[in-house]
Chain A
């Protein structure tokens, strides 16, 4: 369960957060048998969401859904089905997504949707999802990208967590939590190093944070019963 909203006690909130996510982290780590391979697929999006099409980088892309059912709605529905994240509150961000690969061409798009474990003023796990319109003609017709993260509420808006006791930021934990929900299932998962590690500054509580640069590919080929 998400820790309670407590703007006046960030350290307490973070401690509970660490207690909550550490088991998920260890599970995801122990089960990441295919982890750590180099990326070998065509670029599908830019590495960070943006605030407006001319805006600065925001959240790192941490997941790629691919497969017959991995369009925008299929990916969003599958996330909700696996995680139980039924809350869809949150702001809208943009992402430049691949529309052609010769030459590479990206188009700025609004997110397709979002799913979260709690409401817009609560600590929660949260993911925004974008549909990738490019059809590569090589048997992987549908893709969607997502920016999973764990966040708390303070200073009137959501804040990505700083490093927990394992040295993982809210970006890393959000991805690991998502992976934990997908294991063990029929889905194939592959963890790769994507390198989107640019630092980000939290002005509410004055700390730096960033992703460790890993992303996960999740295959969604069949509808669940």
Chain B
């Protein structure tokens, strides 16, 4: 099948506004085989804050039905077809600085593709990180990120590089530690949730703040300050062994 979509990425950048208020800027970009054309618009959040949206959507195909191995990509501004998790507007004094929505073409280097929602937490509002010059290369790694991926596309049976331990119990569900604890994965329902950062103690602390975003929410939606106490759901049958088929709850087959 000729899938015109390459990848879609949403970036939500938080920055301080006039009078110290918080404004949010959303930039959605995607590139397709045909080059794409840019569009932009300004939306208003439920809190009345301006949200600027930029998109290059030409050539993208967000309507194809799911296969056993892959879910169709959803737009950043519409609900994802899998549950995704965040740490809320801030965690341990670190604000949310970006939301990344990636959905890539399968099979470029192997069967595993990026299909994820990532919440990134920085050192301050509008400042993802500070260590921009120590290595002679530009850029820096944020202290914390939370990435959600559908377990029907990527399961813990697909990789083991750097896995320190398996069968951990984290927030009441199955988890695993990677790379000395700098990445903790939790398998909740049909979602793999990875909390990652350079400091393992910070990563472990962040696990306790994980919460599911509502099924009706889109990655581009603002998130509220609320907590989700208690256990996360147990992994769905077959989710840990790569035997969970992809089914899109929003896809209606048949009927034309």
Contacting residues, chain A, for B35 (C-beta < 8 A): 165
Interface-facing stretch out of A65-73, A74-82, A150-158, A180-188? A150-158
Residue from the list B7, B109, B134, B160 in contact with A51, Cβ < 8 A: B134
B112 touches A36 (CB 8 A): yes
Min CB distance, A201 to chain B, in Å? Answer: 4
In the assembled complex, the Cα of A35 lies from the Cα of B147 at a distance in Å of 24
In the assembled complex, the Cα of A55 lies from the Cα of B110 at a distance in Å of 31
A200 touches B141 (CB 8 A): yes
B131 at the interface (CB under 8 A from A): yes
A163 touches B9 (CB 8 A): yes
Residue from the list A40, A47, A201, A209 in contact with B160, Cβ < 8 A: A40
Supplied contacts A57-B141, A195-B178, 6 more A-B pairs, CB within 8 Å: A35-B109, A47-B179, A90-B136, A167-B31, A199-B141, A200-B142
What are 16 A-to-B residue pairs whose CB atoms are below 8 Å?
Answer: A39-B161, A47-B162, A48-B141, A55-B131, A58-B141, A91-B136, A158-B136, A160-B139, A192-B110, A194-B159, A198-B197, A199-B100, A199-B142, A200-B140, A201-B139, A213-B112
B52 at the interface (CB under 8 A from A): no
A56 touches B129 (CB 8 A): yes
Min CB distance, A204 to chain B, in Å? Answer: 5
B226 at the interface (CB under 8 A from A): no
A residues near B (Cβ < 8 Å) are 29, 32, 35-40, 43, 46-52, 55-59, 90-93, 104, 106, 151, 154-155, 157-160, 163, 165-168, 172, 176, 191-204, 206-209, 212-215
B136 touches A56 (CB 8 A): no
A43 touches B162 (CB 8 A): yes
Given that A46-B179, A56-B131 are contacting pairs, would A195 and B162 also be in contact in the complex, using a CB cutoff of 8 Å?
Answer: yes
In the assembled complex, the Cα of A203 lies from the Cα of B131 at a distance in Å of 10
In the assembled complex, the Cα of A196 lies from the Cα of B132 at a distance in Å of 20
A195 touches B161 (CB 8 A): yes
In the assembled complex, the Cα of A212 lies from the Cα of B160 at a distance in Å of 16
B104 touches A202 (CB 8 A): no
Contacting residues, chain A, for B135 (C-beta < 8 A): 49, 51, 55, 58, 91, 93
B139 touches A203 (CB 8 A): yes
Contacting residues, chain B, for A39 (C-beta < 8 A): 159-161
A163 touches B198 (CB 8 A): no
B161 touches A192 (CB 8 A): yes
B157 at the interface (CB under 8 A from A): yes
Please provide the chain B residues from 70 to 118 with a CB less than 8 Å away from any CB of chain A in the complex.
98, 100, 104-105, 108-114, 118
Min CB distance, A159 to chain B, in Å? Answer: 4
B141 touches A91 (CB 8 A): no
Contacting residues, chain A, for B112 (C-beta < 8 A): 36, 193, 213-214
> Which A residue sits closest to B164, measured CB to CB?
A104
A166 touches B108 (CB 8 A): yes
